[in-house]
Structure 1
Amino acid sequence: METTDREIEKPIYRRPGFDGITTLGQMDEKIAAFLRKAREDEGLTRADLSPLLGLSVPVYGRYERAFSKMHVTRMIHLCEILGFMPIEMLFAAAPHLWGRTPEEAEDRLELAKLMAALPHDTTRDLLALVKRMVAQQKAADAATASSTSKD
């Protein structure tokens, strides 16, 4: 959907979220809040965390105040240090990317987190099961589409 954002001079195209289209600034604020909570959950101060990232306290603080935008490599480094998965931070900013409803999106995030904690042999078994389920669903959808087009 075409929209405008005060950070960008030209119209941009975005997918609406559950509450309409959030601005890029609002997403930055959600990422900042997520980072602050993740750090606090680990019992770290900004002064504790900053040197682990090779940053000064004021520079790291810019991320938590949504003043500076983060590169993906910095996000990965934060995931390593604070122990969260990238999907969790992205979900905080744009949950609509995981489902058509907030409940569906939450369920998919929870499933992803649970799968990440499984042992490898269990993950392989689950992957095979899900592949079979998806193939069966596609076949059922194709059969439904075929019978509908004949009517």
Structure 2
Amino acid sequence: MTTKLESHIADLGLVKTSDPENEKPVYRREGFDGISAFAELDNKVGEALRNCRQAKNLSRAELATLVGLSEQVYGRYERNSSKMHVSRLIHLSEVLGVSPLTMLFSAAPHLWGATEKEADTRFRMMKLLEDLPNDTMSSIVTLLETVSVLQNGTTTPKT
């Protein structure tokens, strides 16, 4: 008999693995290049943060000032010598004017699709949607809900 936990693991395609940062086994979903260690994910988020900062033409010192940190402390996030909390990621996203999805996608694109092409397509779609006016977004949501009903016979709850 399959337990609820075993079923959950199978449904999500999770793999039992280990990570140097965790003494107990963990379950992870394989990425396009295998299972990245947590430190690798952190490095990719730090690199994405640096890229976002540079795209806004801000120095480390300028961004550090905007988020109330010293340049040295902020630099640790880009270099992954300090762990970034979700609340800090949200704050940095606010100050940089970027979606946190931009930074997360760079670390774990496999969360957006089963193949690299599918993940890239979904991410590009999300980036396009972020910049649309509200009226256009409402129309697109209605269209997508209609398509969902036609395909699955289900709809997502309206918020």
What TM-score do the two structures reach when normalised by structure 2? Answer: 0.85
2:109 is aligned to 95
For residues 101 and 112 of structure 2, the distance between their equivalents in structure 1, rounded to whole angstroms, comes to 10
Q: Which residue of 1 aligns with 2:135?
A: 121
Distance in structure 2 (CA, Å) of the matches to 1:71 and 1:90? 13
Note the C-alpha offset of 1:96.
0.2
State the match for 1:45 in structure 2: 59
Q: Aligned-residue CA RMSD in angstroms?
A: 0.9
More helix by share: 1
In 1, Cα distance between the equivalents of 2:53 and 2:129? 23
**Greater Cα offset, 2-11 or 69-78:** 69-78
Shift of 1:101: 0.5
Query: Structure 2: where are the runs of 5+ without partners?
Result: 1-14, 154-159
Matches of 1:26 and 1:18 in 2, distance apart? 14
Q: Which residue of 1 aligns with 2:21?
A: 7
- Indicate whether 1:20 and 2:34 are aligned: yes
Q: Which one has a bigger Cα radius of gyration? A: 1
Offset of residue 16 of structure 1: 0.3
Q: Which of 90, 97, 102 is residue 76 of structure 1 equivalent to? A: 90
Aligned equivalent of 1:59: 73
Once the two structures are aligned, what percentage of the paired residues are identical?
A: 50
Matched residue pairs, number? 139
* 3-state SS, counterpart of residue 14 of structure 1: strand
Shift, 1:35, TM fit: 0.8
The amino acid that maps onto 1:4 is S
SS at match of 2:23: strand
Q: Residues of 2 paired with 1:47 and 1:125: CA distance?
A: 42
Alignment gaps of 5+ in structure 1: 140-151
Q: Residue by residue, what CA displacement relative to the aligned partner does 1:102-133 show, whole Å, maximum 9, x if unpaired?
A: 11101101111111111111111111111111
AA at the equivalent of 2:114? R
3-state SS, counterpart of residue 4 of structure 1? strand
Equivalent-residue separation in structure 1 for 2:137 and 2:63 (angstroms)? 33
Amino acid at match of 2:91: H
CA drift of 1:45 comes to 1.2
